[in-house]
Structure 1
Amino acid sequence: MRIAINGMGRIGRLLFRRLVGHEAIELVAINDIMEPDNLAYLLKYDSVYGTFPDPITLQDDDRLLVNGQSIAVLQEPDPIKLPWKALGVDVVLECSGRFTSRAGASAHLAVGAKKVLLSTTGSPEIPLMIYGFNQHLLTPETDIISPGGCMTNCSTHILYLLNSIGIESAHINVLHSYTSRQGIVDAQHKQFRRGRAAAESIIPVEIDLAHSLENLFSVLQNRIAAVSTRVPVANGALADFTIQLKQPTTAMEINQLFRTAAAKEYKGILDYTEEQLVSLDIKGNTHSCIVDGTLTSVVGNHVKLITWFDNEFGYTSRMLDWLLYWKRVLG
């Protein structure tokens, strides 16, 4: 399977690191408008995940050499001009955040790519497919998919499992590290609080998580509310679920539900722990969510559940799962 990455932000660069040298997937090209020498530098040095262990050499500003692998470096802002047909690209990882509608993402198909995998929640006409939940709905005709975002991938499995008991309502607060869409000093932003200095405050921001989850769970329409609270760390997230169930339960019952799921049908996607974790401990963790059993509490029908996730590494792990699933199922 031959892969190209369009957009080399946080997710694009982490995918590069994880795809280089992959035994089943070949990374053939990356595209971003930044200068190639700056891109090579950011691929080598990362403030969260450290220095890339292998040499990265830029050749003539249009190729990167990594461990004997040659990767084309492009600087084309318009995807309709990208050489995907000539490069034999099977799947484009659309990580720019700019082409999230079907019309925008289809430009990659028009110039020769066979499939497009977004790195975010796309517009409504693009199928929202969460790995481990509804990937079985993939068909050979599906050419563009959204794998959701890191918060959707965390929340989907939690709600699905708790709805086996029955959910009346769900409130979700995701305490999330600051992101590239925030600044380090106060600045203009249409969401006023989102424009405040990211490393100086705890900042509530508006998110569309509830809308995405209601699209996945029709039985929970108008029963989900969500907010993200940005905190002054560079990586990691804690999702706080406040769930009203349809019948009484116990913390022991809830923990056993997730302990069993982590060991069986959700193994590799969801994990369960009773270790005394903090956010730094989950850096580099490949799971979409890690249920912290030490923090589960229940009052009657009212459940408080806390989960951890690495918002970058866990999410890119699911994108890699999608590529391998696409390769295995569709050939």
Structure 2
Amino acid sequence: MRIAINGMGRIGRLLFRRLVNDPSFTLVAVNDVMDTDNLVYLLKYDSLFGKFHADITLEHGSICTGNKTISVLQQDHPSKISWKQLDIDIVLECSGKFTTKAGAAAHLEAGAKKVLLSTTGSADIPLMIYGFNHHQLNEAVDVLSPGGCMTNCATHILYILNSIGIESAQINILHSYTSRQQLVDTWHKQFRRGRAAAESIIPVEIDLSQSLERLLPPLANRIAAVSTRVPVTNGAMADFTVQLKAPATRHEINLLFETAANTEYKGILAYSTDQLVSADIKGDTHSCVIDNTLTSVIQKQVKLIAWFDNEYGYTSRMIDWLQCWKKFID
């Protein structure tokens, strides 16, 4: 399957590193408006995941590593790219700019067969979470949103807890700071996002509850969520406070997730009995890791903590989607 990446930010570059030598795929091209020398530098050196495992150079407008040659494009819009000429099966839309049906369709009009977003797209794009409703994928779907890292964590947890019954859920995602925050105080329409990311614990507005209600309609108007950005560069801790419809015990809740991790959610959800911190989760491929040491229950109220690597775990699900889509590609 022939892959192209549009947008070489954090997710695009990590996908490059993971796909370039994956025998299941052929990474054909990447597109980003940044200077190509800078792009190669950022692929070679990464502050989180270290130096690239092999030599990587820029030769005649292409990135070369090992025996692989990947074309580098510098267009600001998909309509200026001939994906058809490059025989691209799937474009990984990682720029964050073409997340509506009409925007993503520009890749299809340019000749790509399918488009996989790296975020939650607009309401007219199917929202599917791998491990939850991925079985709904069919040949007719040509643009897909796999949700965001927080949605991939929260969907599974709420679905499993709803086997008992959920009255309400409050979610706080303690999340590493991101490129949409600032190093020094500056203007932002969300005032707090404009504050220096490495100097404060910063609550930010997120649309997680809307996404979860799309996926779990019975929980409409029962979910609230906020993300609290903390001064670390990787990892997240999801803090769930859930009011159940029936009393439960700590043992029952932990057993519910331990069983899920060892059966139908194996590879998606993990279960840990260790006393974890965020550094322990770097490079973890799961959408969420339940920390059983932090589960607490008071009658019907459950406090549940889950960890996830917001970059590595999320790109793992995107790669799962590529594998899932292979059967629909000629």
Corresponding residue for residue 56 of structure 2: 56
Task: Please show how residues 222-233 of structure 1 align to structure 2 within 5 Å.
Answer: 222-233=221-232
Q: Please show how residues 286-301 of structure 1 align to structure 2 within 5 Å.
A: 286-301=285-300
Q: Which residue number in structure 1 is paired with residue 188 of structure 2?
A: 189
Sequence identity (%): 69
The alpha carbon displacement at 1:53 in A equals: 1.1
* 1:212 matched residue in structure 2: 211
Supply the distance in 1 between the matched residues of 2:141 and 2:192 (Cα, whole angstroms).
38
Q: In structure 1, how many angstroms separate the alpha carbons of the residues matched to 2:181 and 2:196?
A: 7
For residues 297 and 176 of structure 1, the distance between their equivalents in structure 2, rounded to whole angstroms, comes to: 21
**Residue matched to 1:264:** 263
- What are the superposed Cα offsets for residues 249-270 of structure 1, whole Å, 9 maximum, x if unpaired? 0010000000010011000000
Partner-residue secondary structure (3-state), 1:239: strand
1:329 positional shift: 5.3
Q: 1:5 is aligned with what amino acid? A: I
TM-score by length of 2: 0.99
- Alignment pair present for 1:161 and 2:148: no
**Corresponding residue of 1:312:** 311
2:236 equivalent in structure 1: 237
Amino acid in structure 2 at the alignment position of 1:15: L
Question: Distance in 2 between the 1:206 and 1:219 partners?
Answer: 23
Q: Map Cα deviations across residues 15-68 of structure 1 (whole Å, 9 max, x no partner).
A: 0000011011110000000000000000000000000110001012x2011111
Query: Structure 2 CA distance, aligned partners of 1:329 and 1:78?
Result: 26
- 2:2 paired residue number: 2
Equivalences for residues 17-166 of structure 1 within 5 A = 17-60=17-60, 62-166=61-165
Give the deviation of 1:81 after TM superposition: 1.0
SS in 2 for 1:53: coil
Tell me the residue number matched to 2:247: 248
Query: Take 2:197 and 2:327, find their aligned partners in 1: how far apart are those partners?
Result: 41
Aligned equivalents of 1:39, 1:183: Cα separation in 2: 21
With 228-237 and 78-87 compared, the bigger mean Cα shift is at: 78-87
TM-score normalised to the size of structure 1?
Answer: 0.99
Instruction: Give me the whole-angstrom Cα distance separating, in 1, the residues matched to 2:33 and 2:55.
Output: 23
Q: What is the one-letter code of the residue matched to 1:31?
A: N
1:82-120 C-alpha deviation (Å, 9 max, x unpaired): 120011000000000000000000000001000000000
- Supply the distance in 2 between the matched residues of 1:313 and 1:17 (Cα, whole angstroms): 11
Partner-residue secondary structure (3-state), 1:86: coil
The aligned counterpart of 2:320 is 321
Letter in 2 for 1:46: D
2:85 counterpart SS class: helix
Q: Secondary structure at the match of 2:105?
A: helix
Where do 5+ consecutive residues of structure 2 fail to align? none
In structure 2, C-alpha distance between the alignment counterparts of 1:67 and 1:297, rounded to whole Å: 50
SS at match of 1:41: helix
| Alpha-carbon distance in structure 2 between the residues aligned to 1:276 and 1:192 | 35
Secondary structure of the residue aligned to 2:84 is helix
Counterpart Cα distance in 1 of 2:120 and 2:200: 27
Q: Which amino acid aligns with 1:10?
A: R
Q: How many residues align?
A: 330
- What letter matches 1:71 in structure 2? I
C-alpha distance in 1, partners of 2:25/2:54? 18
Give the letter for the 1:243 counterpart.
Answer: V
Query: How far 1:328 sits from its partner (Å)?
Result: 3.4
Q: Which runs of 5+ in 1 are unaligned?
A: none
Q: 1:182 is matched by which residue type in structure 2? A: Q
